[in-house]
Structure formats: structure tokens, C-alpha cells
Structure 1
Amino acid sequence: MTDWRAVGVGFVVLLVVGAIGLQLPLVGQIGAGLIGGFAAGYLAGGGIGNGAWHGLLAGSITGIVLTLVLALLGGALGLGAGPIGGFLGGAGVLVVGVFVTLLFAIDSALAGALGGWMKG
């Protein structure tokens, strides 16, 4: 059973640490995924599998939300170049967002497994 409170806490931790981690572009985002995934897995407990599941959910939801926000922003800013610019701006951000979602999901799941294992 999914503990949505643990996933929500992991999501918020990912957003906060990710915002702070913008100063270190790749390392900061990976660190955010690790810390948020660990928080979700630790709060959920239940062992490695349960922790990994909750970390994966927290990382995936964060990546999807960020991707949608950035794609909308990229599409809106791209409209200055006309309809094609809006489409290409939004689509480009969407492709990068899919990569970021996978990055968040994978490292959050690994850290969530560690958190779930530590709590038992």
C-alpha cells in the first residue's frame, strides 16, 4: 500500500533541495533526488522494496510536475517566434524534462531503497 504522506514529503524535499541545488546544475539535481527519495523511503519504511517504490513515486511525480511547468513556460516564451517557435520551445523542454524525470526517478528509487532498508 502506498503511503502518500511519505511520497508528498519526498516530493516537497525534492523541490526545495532542487531549488537550492540550481547553483550546482547536475550535482544539485542528483543530490535533490537522493535526499528526497531517501526521505520518502525512510518515512514509508517496510524494507528495500517498499522504500524504493516510494522514492520512485516521489522522484517521478517531481519530474513530471517540473517537466509540465517548464514545457508550458518554454512554449509560452517560444511564442515570441511564432507558432512554430512555441511548439519547438515546448517540445524541446519536454524532451529534456523526460530525461530529468528519469534521472529523478532512478536516483530517488535507489535512495528510497536505502531509506526503507534503514528504517526496517
Structure 2
Amino acid sequence: MTNWRAVLIGFLVATVLGLFGLVLPGVGQLAAGLIGGFVAGYLAGGGLGRGFWHGLLAGALGGIIGGLFIAVFVGLAGWVAGPAGGMLTGVAGIGIFAVAVLVAFVMALESAIAGAVGGVLNPDRPDYSRRGPY
């Protein structure tokens, strides 16, 4: 059973650290994703698989929200630019979608690995989740 509280806290940690990480482009966001995934995995507990799952969800949520913000920005830019702008942003939207999927995958993967480490460091499984492996 997924501990959505752990996922949300891990996502929020990654988001806040990612905003401060803008000072160090690339490295700051990488560290934010790792720390957020670790927090999600540690809070969920339960070992390697459970930590991996919760870190994966926290990182994927960050990638999805980031892609959504980019899509809204591009959509508004096309709306302001009129019909020609709409056509250009529609074509650009395909490339933006591909980049957003790639970013979400990378964020989810790094967070999942860190979540697995967090889950191993906190092997205690909460009572409500003893029904299944995750």
C-alpha cells in the first residue's frame, strides 16, 4: 500500500531544494531529486522495494508537475501570439512533451534509487502496510 504522505513530503522536499538549487544549475536539481527520493523512501520504510517505489512516485510527481508548468506556459504563449503562434507552439509542443517525459523519467529514476537507500535505512514497516510487499 502506497504511503502518499511520504510521497508528498518527498516531492515537497525535492521542490523546495530544487528552487534553492537553481543557484547551482544541474547539480542543485540532481541533489534535490536525490534528497527528496531519500526522504520519501525513509518515511515509507519497509526496505529496498518499498523505498524504491515511494522514491519513484515522489520523483515522477515532480517531473509531471514540471512538465505541466512548461505546457501551460507554452500554451499561453501560443494563445497570446494568435493563430500563427498557436501553430508554432503546437509543433513545439511535441518536442516539449518528449523533453518533459525524459525529465520525468530521469527525476523518477534518481529519486527511486535514493528512495531505495532510504527504505533500507528505515526497515520498520508501518502497521497499516503489512498486507502487501509495497
Offset from partner CA, 1:7-39 (integer Å, 9 cap, x none): 010110111111111222211111111000000
Q: Pairwise CA RMSD of aligned residues?
A: 1.4
Q: Paired residues, what number?
A: 120
Bigger shift: residues 15-24 or 37-46 = 15-24
Unaligned runs of 5+ in 1: none
Cα distance in structure 1, aligned partners of 2:88 and 2:19: 27
Return the structure number with greater helix share.
Answer: 1
Q: Percent identity?
A: 52
One-letter amino acid of the counterpart of residue 67, structure 1: G
For the pair 1:113 / 2:116, whether they are aligned, the reply is: yes
Structure number with bigger Rg:
2
Would the aligned equivalents of 2:77 and 2:85 in 1 still touch at CA under 8 Å? no
One-letter amino acid of the counterpart of residue 49, structure 2: G
For the pair 1:102 / 2:97, whether they are aligned, the reply is: no
The 5 Å alignment of 1:77-96 reads: 77-79=77-79, 80=81, 82-96=85-99
Cα distance in structure 2, aligned partners of 1:92 and 1:28: 25
Bigger shift: residues 65-74 or 89-98 = 89-98
Map of 1:40 onto structure 2: 40
Map of 1:20 onto structure 2: 20
TM value normalised by structure 1: 0.92
Would the aligned equivalents of 2:55 and 2:115 in 1 still touch at CA under 8 Å? yes
Unaligned runs of 5+ in 2: 124-134
